[in-house]
Homo-oligomer: A and B are copies of this chain.
Amino acid sequence: MSIRIGIYGYGNLGRGVENAIRQNPDMTLRAVFTRRDPSTLHIQTPTAEVLHVDRAPEMVNEIDVMILCGGSATDLPEQTPAMAKLFNVVDSFDTHAKIPTHFANVDAAAREGGRVAAISVGWDPGLFSIARMYSGAILPDGKDYTFWGRGVSQGHSDAIRRIEGVLDAKQYTVPVETALDAVRSGSNPDLTTREKHTRECYVVAKEGADLARIEQEIKTMPNYFADYDTTVHFITKEELDRDHAGIPHGGKVIRCGRTGAELQNSHIIEYSLKLDSNPEFTSSVLVAYARAVARLNQEGVTGCKTVLDIPPVYLSPKSAEELRKELL
């Protein structure tokens, strides 16, 4: 029996989910839900329907898992609880400080509907959370470090685009190599924000704009850039489109911990991602967890889960026997 998937929202993430479903033979895309006029939206799966979001409730018996592909700022806080009353759901909610509230809302909705929801699925939060969880439990006397990049930060790119005189921009977050080396040496260094990451900005300015002022505004922007060593490169629109069209990202979670009678032995666990496409990789994680929530609900589980609650074996289409044989 194929797992029937609905995609709710068809941006970068929704398109990534559509592609990922084709890589998983035990899954079928049943429908894409959009707030736009469905006739204007062209998807790549000829066997799937495009429906207005208002028609989602009609599809409760047609869809096993709804994957929510909206944004964390305004979409998911509304959509995930609403959909969790009707469907098993997966989302990639990533506003760290609001996760407890979101969890409570989604949990209540999913229990009411007798469904399973997995929230905050992706790589951070998500796979990086899992890495921190295992490493911390195994090496209690130790310290975690998370580095992001080299990769595109959408939030920082947007912040630059809001500056007067800027036509377009792309911002890369870059981990500092000497900081990485210090962490990997096992010395458990204390690192400031500035010591861990630098920020590289590629900016297309409007004709006649005051470049010195733009650069100054970027470098002194509180929260986004002021605490970092930031470099600004002015380039043409053509250069931006040619050299900076992708959305790569990645990062590392490193834990260094000690064991032994005198804590004399040092151990380093490093989990690292290098991603050509941030949204496509996140989509692939969402799809693997869609399989998990479908199975959990079949077993009678209800309520909200995170990646920390879900046994690894639920992510795979293979049986526990096969996995023990192949992976252990």
- Enumerate chain A interface residues (CB-CB to B < 8 A): 16, 19-20, 23-24, 44, 96, 99-100, 103, 120, 125, 127, 129-130, 132-134, 136-141, 184, 259-261, 265-277, 280-281, 283-285, 288, 291, 306-313, 315-316, 320-321, 323-325, 327-328
Contact = CB atoms under 8 A, between A and B. Distances in A.
Nearest to A323: B308
A285 B138 contact: yes
B141 A23 contact: yes
B327 A260 contact: no
A103 B321 CA distance: 10
A127 B133 contact: no
9 contacts: A24-B140, A137-B291, A267-B284, A268-B273, A272-B272, A306-B324, A307-B312, A309-B311, A309-B312
A23 B139 CA distance: 9
B133 A313 contact: yes
Contacts of A285: 138
Q: A127, A259, A325: which has the most chain B beta carbons within 10 Å?
A: A259
Contacts of A133: 312-313, 315-316, 323, 327
A277 B261 contact: no
A288 B125 CA distance: 23
Nearest to A133: B312
Contacts of A306: 324, 328
Contact of A312 (B261, B308, B327): B308
Nearest to A135: B127
Contacts of A141: 23
Contacts of A272: 268-272
A276 B269 CA distance: 12
Contacts of A323: 133, 308
Nearest to A285: B138
Nearest to A124: B328
B269 A273 contact: yes
A267 B272 CA distance: 11
Q: A127, A137, A277, A320: which has the most chain B beta carbons within 10 Å?
A: A137
Given A259-B281, A272-B272, A277-B265, A136 B308 contact: no
